[in-house]
Amino acid sequence: MSHSSTQLPQLLETADPMRLAILNARREGRSIGLVPTMGALHEGHLSLVQASVSKCDLTVVTIFVNPTQFGPGEDFGKYPRDLEADLAALATVSRDVLVFAPSVELMYPAGYDTRVVVGAVARPLEGRCRPGHFEGVATIVLKLFQLVPADVAFFGQKDYQQLLVIRRMVSDLNIPIRVEMCPTVRDADGLALSSRNRYLSPPQRQQALSLSRSLQLAAELVAGGQRDPQVVLRRMRELIQQAGDVRIDYVALADPDTLQPVSSMDRPVLALLAVRVGPARLIDNGMIQPP
């Protein structure tokens, strides 16, 4: 396959050249941005890369499908992997990003036995539905922060709870990296972009629109004067259930800093949901600001 027309980003697969590239950039006084991904890149990921490219002198994108954040029976085996397509997608944003794509053996060599235990913000919602998930996330992100000691790391709002877990870890473990949240990118029909959307058939994709529609409904109810979270939650669940054969893992109205349930809606509240549509488990969220 010829790439003469498009120059692909430089790919590094081992730790030493990666560290050296960062050291050299530091020596030249360049700022470094990091975008950790599991590959299967879409416009949402590319918007994070764009944010990093616009704010930092050097951007490193990591591509690693992390086995420790998948539970038993989850989709680790069939999670989409296409490094070639990911590199081509990154080339459309910037040719001088560095891509770090380590092997599982490099990240978890034989005998590997340490992990990060995460606290209160990791327990509700995703923490309840996917036990051990955030330990896997925090552990791999800490390892990436060591291998690619950047100035700023960019994460998407769609994974809001993940972002809070990482911010907590960065603060608690004195990691000198700023964590920046970038807005969720959506398709024209409102569906939040996700690598798992490719599991959906066309009818399932229509059902998946109930997630963003329920977030919109919640915002409209609050704008119209509704302040009782129980009423808003009930209406959100009804709208999702009308989509047909879908399974709700949770629908929540939570404090944006602690993710604890709210008893009233007179200040900004985060609506979060996780719904199984066909073979895909989809998450979404939105901030609701009372007028």
3-state secondary structure of 95: coil
Catalytic residues: 45
Phi/psi at 229 (nearest 5 deg)?
A: -60, -35
* Dist CA 193 CA 45 (whole Å): 9
As given in the structure block, the two tokens for residue 39 are 């590959």
Q: Considering only CA atoms, which of 187, 183, 197 is closest in space to residue 47? A: 183
List % helix, strand, coil for the chain (3-state, nearest 5).
40, 20, 40
Q: Which residues contact 179 (CB under 8 A, 6 or more apart)?
A: 152, 153, 155, 163, 166, 167, 170
DSSP, res 117:
P
The residue count for the chain: 291
Q: How many CB atoms lie within 10 A of CB 249?
A: 16
If 0-12 CB within 10 Å is exposed, 13-18 middle and 19+ buried, where does residue 186 land? middle
Q: Which residue's structure tokens are 């590959």?
A: 39
- Nearest-5° Cα angle at 277, 280 to 234: 130
Q: Which residues contact 248 (CB under 8 A, 6 or more apart)?
A: 237, 240, 241, 273, 274, 275, 276
* Dist CA 92 CA 7 (whole Å): 10
